[in-house]
Amino acid sequence: MAASSGSLDTSGNSHPQSSNNYFSFSTNSSNHYPFMTSSSFTDLLASNDEEPINNNTGNSKLADRIAERTGSGVPKFKSTPPPSLPLSPPPVSPSYYFAIPPGLSPTELLDSPVLLNPSNILPSPTTGTFPGQGLNWKSSSGNIQQNVKKEDRSFSDFSFQPPARPSTTSSAMFQSSNSTVQPGQQHTWGFQEPAKQDEFVSGKSNMVKMEYNSNSIKSFSPEIAAIQANPQSNNGFQSDHGNQPQQYQSVREQKRSDDGYNWRKYGQKQVKGSENPRSYYKCTFPNCPTKKKVERSLDGQITEIVYKGSHNHAKPQSTRRSSSTGSNPAMIPAPNSNSNEIQDQSYVTHGNGQMDSSVATPDNSSISIGDDDFDSQKSKSVGGEDLDEDEPDAKRWKRERENEGISAPGSRTVREPRVVVQTTSDIDILDDGYRWRKYGQKVVKGNPNPRAVITTYEGKHNHDVPAARGSGSRSLQDHSNNGNNNAAMATRPSTVNHASNNPVNNPIRNQRAPPTATSEGDMPFTLEMLQSPGSFGFSGFGNLMGSYMNQSSTDEVLSRAKRELEVESFW
């Protein structure tokens, strides 16, 4: 099938054989899933040479446009071997990814309606808070002007904190600085070197001093935050402070979570289809049924977190964490504090200062970071000396990956961490006419847009669209059905937020195809969704929550797609 990553049919035609109809980076007809393969961003982008993204505009290739905009060319996660692994500076300055196109300020970007649709923002499954609230992201574009200043403040608050010294306490991560972002100012992205990381996600400065990461992490587990702030974080970026001795926490040191709860590891298993060991944790609170699964890459970085169940107790005081690891006061913000604007972005924080309310919701929510691409992909870090502690299997994995050319020695394949709150009952009828049970939602790490949504479609419907759906969706459906079923799948989603089309933000493009996906028809694919109707459609700032917008016509989709493509060129 023409399952293509992050695709949107902007041509109005459904060509099963032509995956590039859908904003796809997949241009190789023999490989419709480049992001699931060893292809690097560069490869993928380069592939546009053959089959440029079909935006019907004849625009320059994305890679070229990126290069034009940035002057730096397309980041080469794979093809450009890291100079010397973890301690070296990133091949491309993280700030590079924050290049704002001339004439467009961060504020303007944030003012994009796509950011502001609160209906699309789900509460944290563990905190019940709404990430967007913390950022004061407005739900109405009509107030943009009035709120510009406020937006600016919020933006700067969560994002562009100058790097503090590594020894700085984690509060730096969430400090609610009122400093104004200087457009041209260079900021590190939270690749802060952990002065010390004796907690899994300790509130160290590295944890979420992630100027860059804050965007993509703020709504999620601090584990993720820590991971992303980790110099070895999944983006393959490396610390700007790379001259410091490597002080990454050991596996054992990472056992504790700073999501505010205490967890006890009760098992670990190597799951099939993933090279990463999966650890099982239980909440240590008596009778609390909450569990979580954590997958780590071989270098110890979390690639996925799955929460199961909900806490039946308030978040414990941070006594243990305080004593054990130099707790991060900011991780448990004082209610209504200014810093909540940032802290709300983290699972461990909650603007209302209550955890109970939040923990009551998980069963009804489903939020994830990462997507099934990542679930199934095999990419892993293989280039780091982190592998010193690898077990034989890990070494084997490394060897296999190298043999497969997945990642050249010394290079790093990135993988997004994923947070999933498992759910037993979120069913919605979406605009594609089908009833969907939402089980996960992802944020692309490394994506400046914390709300970018990638919806992964897996398999294909074995039934018709349920009746009584809007004409718009029917339009899409009928249209999609003109092709084969597989192609139809690609067009069913009514929205596309191709945040992942952002070459900078598309680590998933490096992902390999899942081993279980043996046929095109069964291959999972992603559609990055445009967001709310009338949205700016800026992929880099798309609304994370709510993958589907209520558009009612294909034309509208196409129109947005075009706009989005235009915006995409910023990246």
What's the closest the beta carbon of residue 222 comes to DNA, in angstroms?
16
Q: Which is nearer to DNA, 32 or 418 (CB)?
A: 418
- The answer to whether 535 and 117 have CB atoms below 8 angstroms apart is yes
Q: Out of 56, 84, 119, 284, name the contact with DNA by CB under 7 A.
A: 284
In angstroms, what is the minimal distance from the CB of 306 to DNA? 7
The site map against DNA for 323-362 (x = CB under 7 A) is: ----------------------------------------
d(CA 90, CA 504): 13
Q: Where are the beta strands (DSSP E) in 432-497?
A: 435-437, 454-457
Q: What token pair was written down for 214?
A: 């804050």
Residue 276 CB, nearest approach to DNA (Å): 11
Nearer to DNA, 365 or 551 (CB): 365
Among the listed residues 420, 436, 417, 440, the one whose alpha carbon sits nearest the alpha carbon of residue 428: 436
Burial category of 550 from C-beta neighbours within 10 Å (exposed 0-12, middle 13-18, buried 19 and up): middle
Angle between helices 471-481 and 554-568 (to 10 degrees): 80
Phi/psi of residue 428, each to 5°? -135, 150
Q: CB neighbours of 27 closer than 8 A, spacing ≥ 6?
A: 19, 20, 34, 44, 47, 48, 50, 51, 52
Given 251, 314, 387, 429, the residue binding DNA (CB under 7 A): 251
CA dist., res. 12 & res. 395, Å (int): 47
Task: Decide whether 365 or 554 has the Cβ nearer to DNA.
Answer: 365
Residue number, 12 or 273, with CB nearest to DNA:
273
**Stretch of 43-51, 91-99, 250-258, 463-471 lying at the interface with DNA (CB under 7 A):** 250-258
Which residues, 195 to 214, sit near DNA by CB under 7 A? none
CB of 245 to DNA, least distance (A): 20
Q: Cβ 121 to DNA, closest distance in Å?
A: 27
Tokens 């597989």 locate to: 486
Q: What are the backbone dihedrals phi and psi of residue 291, each rounded to the nearest 5 degrees, phi first?
A: -135, 165
Q: Which is nearer to DNA, 249 or 491 (by Cβ)?
A: 249
Query: How far apart are the C-alpha atoms of 351 and 337, rounded to whole Å?
Result: 8
Give the integer Cα–Cα distance in Å for 301 and 224.
9
Supply the minimum distance, in Å, between the C-beta of residue 140 and DNA: 41
- List binders of DNA among 395-454 (CB under 7 A): none
- Minimum Å distance from CB 406 to DNA? 20
Q: Which of residues 288-327 bind DNA (CB under 7 A)?
A: 291, 293, 308
Write the interaction track for DNA spanning residues 253-282; mark x where CB under 7 A is met and - where it is not.
--xx-----xxxxxxxx-xxx----xxx-x
Residue ranges in 522-561 that form contacts with DNA under rule CB under 7 A = none
The type of residue at 228 is Q
Closer by beta carbon to DNA, 272 or else 463: 272
Which residue, 9 or 304, has its beta carbon nearer to DNA? 304
Locate 385 and state its tokens: 């000396």
Torsion of CA 377, 513, 414, 541, to 10 degrees: -100
Contact present, 494 and 430 (Cβ < 8 Å): yes
Smallest gap from Cβ 565 to DNA, in A, equals 38
Q: In terms of CB distance, is 257 or 411 closer to DNA?
A: 257
Contact 216, 445 (CB under 8 A): yes
> Closer CB to DNA, residue 390 or residue 566?
390
Shortest gap between Cβ of 265 and DNA (angstroms)? Answer: 4
Q: What is the DSSP letter of 436?
A: E
Nearer to DNA, 265 or 562 (CB): 265
Q: Please, which residue, 184 or 392, has the CB nearer to DNA?
A: 392
Interaction of residue 480 with DNA, rule CB under 7 A: no
Count of residues near DNA by CB under 7 A: 23
- For 5, the enclosing helix (H) or strand (E) is none
**Which of 420, 418, 449 has its CA nearest to residue 528?**
449
CB of 280 to DNA, least distance (A): 4
Count of all residues that appear for the chain in the document: 571
**Smallest gap from residue 287 Cβ to DNA (A):** 13
Pairwise CA distance, residues 23 & 51, whole Å? 11
DSSP-derived pairing of the beta strands 419-421 and 302-308: parallel
Q: Which residues bind DNA (CB under 7 A)?
A: 251-252, 255-256, 262-269, 271-273, 278-280, 282, 284, 291, 293, 308
